[in-house]
Structure 1
Amino acid sequence: MYFAAVGDVHGHMYAMLGLLQAWESRDRQKLAFVLQVGDFEPHRQQADLATMDAPNRYRKLGEFSDFYSKKAEFPWQIYFIGGNHEPYGFLDLMPAGGEVTKNCYYLGRVGFCELAGLKIVGLSGIYRENLFLHTARPDIAQIGSRSNKDYIGFIQSDIDRALDFQSADILMLHEWSTDTIAADDIESFQQWLPSLKYEVLGNEYARMLIEFLQPKLVLCGHMHKSYRNQVSFSPGTVTDICCLANVQQGKDAIAIFKLAPDGTIVEVSN
């Protein structure tokens, strides 16, 4: 059984489909489902753009409206989390998640699903220090009178709910965790993005979830950078880290995994 993970889509639904269908055609296999790591941008209509945190030049309706209006249909079930560029005025109507259109499901601010026997946990948003300790986010009725940035972060209670799941086979994050980058790769990362400071990349709460839930696989996006690593936060456990580019960057935006009968998850060529 094969499934796919996809990086930031930013409304380019047909580019995402093209990458995944190209793999199916080349390898003559069918994907069972697709996991998407945020900045999906499921804008139904122009009004949704006003509830997204992004500069005006990036506020574009995108192609999700075709799928929402049933002009097009996703050929697999897609499960996505929220990033920092989402229409939260729409998504926060279903903070616990739900179906947003046929074959397309939002996992919520913190969510869980079981697919092919895999326990999948997702955390939406990014870490923002000024938001994290809030007991609650502003109500969506306040959108328009509050900064859209007030809706893009996860808060402490989200982390607590994620920890309540106790374990996970796959953990979906938008933002990277601290200690994602191997020491040998730091120099190449700094060449890629000279302003990058390793010590401030990612957030410690994502790492806390990895350490506690001990997933076999962590998926993340946000940085628009393809990267793989393995981490071990406790003896005898190894977690594969899969960071993905955005779909406009091509094949680096997708990862294809094979699920073996014994539950092992192995990345295959895309």
Structure 2
Amino acid sequence: MKIAVEGCCHGELDRIYDAILEEERISQQPVDLVLLCGDIQALRNEGDLASLAVPTKYQRLGDFHKYYAGEKVAPILTLVIGGNHEASNYMWELFYGGWIAPNIYYMGAAGCVEVNGIPIAAASGIFKNDDYQRGRFERQPFSAGDMRSIYHTRQFEITKLAMLSRPTVFMSHDWPNGVEQYGDVQALLRAKPFFREEVYSSSLGSPPLQMLLNELQPRYWFSAHLHVEFAAHVVHGVMPQASHASISDNPEAINVDDDSDEELPPTPSVVQPQSITDFLALGKCTSKGGYLHVRTERNSFQFFEIPTSTDTLTQGRREVSLTYHKPWLAITQALDPYFSFHRTQKPLPLPTDPNLQNAVHEAMQKIDAQLATAEGNPLDIRIAQPFTRTAPTQSEYAQQSRKSIRTFLCKNLLTLDPYKNPQTEAFCQLAGIPNRINSFVTKQSTRPNSMSSSAQCVATPAAETQNEIRLIHAVGSQLKRKRD
């Protein structure tokens, strides 16, 4: 299976797909899967800019809205994760994962799916210690602080991921803490000298992801975030060759060994098979390159039927399967009672806790029983979780002509009312959990995929008068933040 891995997207979908299609044209072999490692900036319309944590001068709509509206379709199945520059209102809508546009699947705050039977796990966001043990307390309209805390990784999601068996691929936006020690640290510091202090203090990257790297030991780990291309070869159970001692402030320093020291010959030992993770981080999508890596996984996925070299573009693009990972559904069900929507997080059990292990086992039995009576293939994500639009497309958003306070606020880039996404409801039903994402929305969005031009900027208003008051207060706060 041929996989294209990309670093930070920053709304440049057109450029990314053009580069991949050009590689296909040259190699005459199709790419089967695209992995985008965060900062997708999935802005459906200009109203989503109010939930994008970037300075105002860098706010731009990007390419994604064309894919959301159906004006363009991703040519290759694409899996994406969230970073620290996202339309957080839309990502929250699909907290458990879902199609953000046709053929572009968001992995959720944390998730695990199977592509042609290959388990791919993912963690969105970045680490910040202050928010790690908090619940998911943020609500729309997001305050300036909420707009940033919402993309911080939570212990709840890490605990779920820690219960997986070894996935083949792991995607994260942040780097695992310490992974740079398994690669060329000097080259990294030449490219990014301002990382030196973090490398010295062992604070570069995410400690929770370091734990997952050590525990899950996936065959491949792909990251982004730091806007640099970097590879590392992690041999689990073996200390990295790079060390802080080798990172000298003086690159011309010479290490002098005392040749008089006699060393005893090493004691022969039994060679044990070692688990290896190949780590690759990529930069952001720019004209300078360094953001795209196309890799043919032929030898690595030996447990799966890999296409032969006779497959060419002239034979047509293969459609790969995309299914739920059954253990992930069971883990989600077992840990759902711990899902906190408040600032405080109920103490979480360790992944090795016997009671939690039993809960996962029982959840798996329930899911198996449910699947046994279902028609067709209920694990097929394309069938179980069809793409549904909730917010207006950019074209519909731009056509708002009603001269009212709501139109004014739309132009000020505020889309305050959240949506209940049918895809989230479908996932929750399959996983056997209640859907509490945007549960205070009284009306679920049923916006058709082809929407009329009369669609309102806010699709699910509650009491009109109260909504207008909320909007007035919110736009005042938004404009004040811009002035400050």
Tell me how far apart the structure 2 counterparts of residues 173 and 17 of structure 1 sit (CA, whole Å).
21
Q: 1:249, CA displacement in angstroms?
A: 4.5
Is 1:210 paired with 2:210? no
SS at match of 2:179: coil
1:247-268 superposed Cα distances (whole Å, 9 cap, x missing partner): 1145421112222266159xxx
| Structure 1 match to 2:294 | 256
| Structure 1 match to 2:226 | 223
Q: 1:70, CA displacement in angstroms?
A: 1.0
SS at match of 1:92: helix
Tell me how far apart the structure 1 counterparts of residues 129 and 276 of structure 2 sit (CA, whole Å).
29
The answer as to whether partners of 2:191 and 2:228 remain within 8 angstroms in 1 is no
Greater mean deviation of Cα atoms: 148-157 or 255-264: 255-264
RMSD between aligned residues:
2.0
Q: How does 1:44-83 map to 2 (within 5 A)?
A: 44-83=44-83
What is the identity, as a one-letter code, of the residue corresponding to 1:202?
G
Q: 1:93, CA displacement in angstroms?
A: 0.6
Unaligned runs of 5+ in 2: 238-272, 304-484
| Structure 1 match to 2:194 | 195
More strand by share: 1
Rg larger in 1 or in 2? Answer: 2
Greater mean deviation of Cα atoms: 137-146 or 90-99: 137-146
The answer as to whether partners of 1:137 and 1:150 remain within 8 angstroms in 2 is no
The answer as to whether partners of 1:42 and 1:65 remain within 8 angstroms in 2 is yes
Tell me how far apart the structure 2 counterparts of residues 255 and 202 of structure 1 sit (CA, whole Å).
21
**4+ aligned runs moved over 4 Å, structure 1:** none
| Structure 2 match to 1:245 | 283
SS at match of 2:52: coil
| Structure 1 match to 2:353 | none
Judged with a 3 Å threshold, the aligned counterparts in structure 2 of structure 1 residues 145 and 59 are, in CA distance, closer, same or farther, namely: closer
TM-score by length of 1: 0.92
What is the identity, as a one-letter code, of the residue corresponding to 2:222?
L
The answer as to whether partners of 2:138 and 2:150 remain within 8 angstroms in 1 is no
Q: 1:146, CA displacement in angstroms?
A: 4.8
Judged with a 3 Å threshold, the aligned counterparts in structure 2 of structure 1 residues 179 and 146 are, in CA distance, closer, same or farther, namely: closer
Q: How does 1:1-270 map to 2 (within 5 A)?
A: 1-134=1-134, 136-144=135-143, 146-182=145-181, 185-196=184-195, 197=197, 198=199, 199-234=202-237, 236-260=274-298, 263-264=301-302
Q: 1:169, CA displacement in angstroms?
A: 0.5
Judged with a 3 Å threshold, the aligned counterparts in structure 2 of structure 1 residues 264 and 211 are, in CA distance, closer, same or farther, namely: farther
SS at match of 2:175: coil
Q: How many aligned residue pairs are there?
A: 265
Tell me how far apart the structure 1 counterparts of residues 217 and 171 of structure 2 sit (CA, whole Å).
12
Q: 1:200, CA displacement in angstroms?
A: 1.9
| Structure 2 match to 1:268 | none
What is the identity, as a one-letter code, of the residue corresponding to 2:155?
Q
SS at match of 1:206: helix
The answer as to whether partners of 1:19 and 1:251 remain within 8 angstroms in 2 is no
Q: 1:137, CA displacement in angstroms?
A: 1.7
Tell me how far apart the structure 2 counterparts of residues 142 and 251 of structure 1 sit (CA, whole Å).
36
Tell me how far apart the structure 1 counterparts of residues 161 and 34 of structure 2 sit (CA, whole Å).
21
Judged with a 3 Å threshold, the aligned counterparts in structure 2 of structure 1 residues 26 and 184 are, in CA distance, closer, same or farther, namely: closer
What is the identity, as a one-letter code, of the residue corresponding to 1:185?
D
SS at match of 2:113: strand
Q: 1:186, CA displacement in angstroms?
A: 2.4
Unaligned runs of 5+ in 1: 266-270
The answer as to whether partners of 1:92 and 1:140 remain within 8 angstroms in 2 is no
Judged with a 3 Å threshold, the aligned counterparts in structure 2 of structure 1 residues 40 and 260 are, in CA distance, closer, same or farther, namely: same
Tell me how far apart the structure 2 counterparts of residues 251 and 119 of structure 1 sit (CA, whole Å).
29
What is the identity, as a one-letter code, of the residue corresponding to 1:242?
L
